[in-house]
Amino acid sequence: VSEQSASEAVRYEWRNRIHAEYTSAAITQHLTLWLIQMGASPDLIDDGLRIVTDELVHAQMSAEVYAEAGGTEPPQIERESLQLPRHPEQLLEMDITRAGVQMFCLGETVAVPLFSHLRQGCTVPVARDALDRILKDEVRHRDFGWQLLDALLDTPVADELRQLIDVELPQMMASLQQSYGDAVDDGAEAIEDISDADRLWGLAPASEYAEILSRTIERDYIPRFNERSIDLVRLLGRG
Ligand SMILES: [Fe+2]
Ligand SMILES: [Fe+2]
């Protein structure tokens, strides 16, 4: 058996990544439709469309890794989940802000150091190719998020959007921390789940996800929100 034989954890993880990347494609498409409806700048709309294409490539490449790892049951994704929820009683800009902050300012910003870390230990060619491409794109996806936020904070309804961020950002942070395993105290158990062989396929234990997230909060979220006069330290109740 070569070092490339894959564990169940590898198949499970890459199957989830197919799901996540495909979902990203759909919701970025939806967000970009909203940008068109809002009359956002052509640059921002172009960037959004390009990201949709990237995410479809990421999903395809993840499916190739999954198949190479011996996976034979690609995820069944509910059609209803492949869209963003609209609150029709609220301004469109509010739903754009929610999705933009959560998916891009938070999600794509932490994705950069995360995928960089996953890629470091990854030597199985098909997985390495996928992580190379994902990491290269993720930097641009992160930048799109912060440019989108700047554009939103430059609209006549900026005050309302700032208020929404004040109210909803703490909850967004909490669910991010939960999904990165920070909230749970069983890191030691999680470490055992990922073997050295799994790292060659681009996996890492939950404790490392949590570490990367807390570094990202200090190095990226706090300063980047600060530049936009959003006091994340205060919102997290640490100020
Ligand atoms: Fe992606
Ligand atoms: Fe992305």
Distance 90 CA to ligand 1 centre (A): 29
Tell me which ligand sits closest to the C-alpha of residue 31: 2
Percentage of the chain lying above the pLDDT 90 cut: 90
Distance 166 CA to ligand 1 centre (A): 27
Distance 138 CA to ligand 1 centre (A): 7
Least confident of 158-162, 217-221, 234-238: 234-238
Phi-psi region of 62 (alpha: psi -120 to 50; beta: other; left: phi over 0): alpha
Mean pLDDT, residues 131-158 taken together: 98
Handedness of CA 20, 22, 27, 28 (dihedral sign): positive
Tell me which ligand sits closest to the C-alpha of residue 104: 2
What is the H or E stretch that residue 106 is in?
A: none
Distance 197 CA to ligand 1 centre (A): 24
pTM listed for this prediction = 0.93
Tell me which ligand sits closest to the C-alpha of residue 140: 2
Mean pLDDT, residues 171-175 taken together: 96
Q: Say whether pLDDT at 1 is over 50.
A: no
Distance 55 CA to ligand 2 centre (A): 6
Give the pLDDT score at 187.
47
Distance 239 CA to ligand 2 centre (A): 31
Distance 39 CA to ligand 2 centre (A): 23
Q: Which of 15, 96, 104 is nearest to 51 (CA)?
A: 104
Q: What are phi and psi of 30, to 5 degrees?
A: -65, -45
Tell me which ligand sits closest to the C-alpha of residue 50: 2
Mean pLDDT, residues 118-124 taken together: 97
Q: Say whether pLDDT at 173 is over 90.
A: yes
Give the pLDDT score at 5.
86
Give the pLDDT score at 4.
62
Q: pLDDT tens digits for 12-64?
A: 999 999 999 999 999 999 999 999 999 999 999 999 999 999 999 999 999 99
Tell me which ligand sits closest to the C-alpha of residue 139: 2
Q: pLDDT tens digits for 181-199?
A: 754 555 444 445 789 999 9
Distance 192 CA to ligand 1 centre (A): 27
